[in-house]
Amino acid sequence: MLRIDRLDAHYGLFQALFELSMAVAPGETVALIGSNGAGKSTLMKAIVGALSVRHDGVQLDGVAIGGEPERKQLARGIALVPEGRRLFPSLTVRENLLLAARNGRQGPWTVERLLREFPVMEGFQHRPATALSGGQQQLVALSRALVCNPSYLLCDEISLGLSPLAVHEVYNLLGRARGEGLAIVLVEQNVKRALSESNRYYCIQKGRVVLEGQSESADHAKVAQAYFGM
């Protein structure tokens, strides 16, 4: 169980999260819904250790892990697919994956397996990562997190700016990861998709949770209201 407990986060003097609490159970998919600047990305950065936060603000199976460096969170099985993909331009696709695989955990996801299961990726594995289309890059970015064999996968805006076909492929890969028991935290602009892909959701507004519930029985009008802050 990954639990966020009354978490505050700051960028300098600016406070981005206010006593935010949420939880993700193993194998569960949770959607974070909210407008730009609501604090979703901040929350994810805080969880993986890219942002310094209170130690017991983030707990994994009851152990306080908040504010510890990224590599330690990765070793515990928490990985982030960052917004904007952020592949390394000086590395080939294969090298992007190899680097992450070497630093991550051992497990069912290997570079070879991903290349085998996604022949399209095998075709461009030796090309510079940034010479690909947006959808291909997103597949690689998702794979780069998967080869670390996380138990909790945080996905920040993985369908932003992609063609419908590419979105479909990315969610196809995500579905496979979920099929193997990964817990997923999903930030997604498309509210409809966010709700259909998840078990539960949290609406975040100005750094606070304003609405939460089961995705299946979500009241779209209420979610929209929470989203736009009306």
Q: Rule CB under 8 A: which residues touch other proteins?
A: 48, 50, 69-71, 74-75, 79-80, 82, 86, 88-91, 95, 98-100, 102-104, 144, 148
Contacts of 83 (CB under 8 A, 6+ apart): 41, 156, 157, 160, 187
Q: Where are the beta strands (DSSP E) in the chain?
A: 2-11, 14-24, 29-33, 58-60, 63-64, 78-81, 152-156, 183-187, 200-205, 208-214
Pick 93 or 195: Cβ nearer other proteins: 93
Q: Look at strands 208-214 and 200-205 and give their pairing.
A: antiparallel
CB 50 → other proteins: shortest distance, Å? 7
Angstrom distance (rounded) from CA 80 to CA 198? 17
Q: Which is nearer to other proteins, 148 or 174 (CB)?
A: 148
Least distance in angstroms from the C-beta of 121 to other proteins: 17
Kindly tell me which of 23 and 75 has the beta carbon lying closer to other proteins: 75
Q: How far is the CB of 199 from other proteins (least distance, A)?
A: 25
**Shortest CB 196 distance to other proteins, Å:** 28
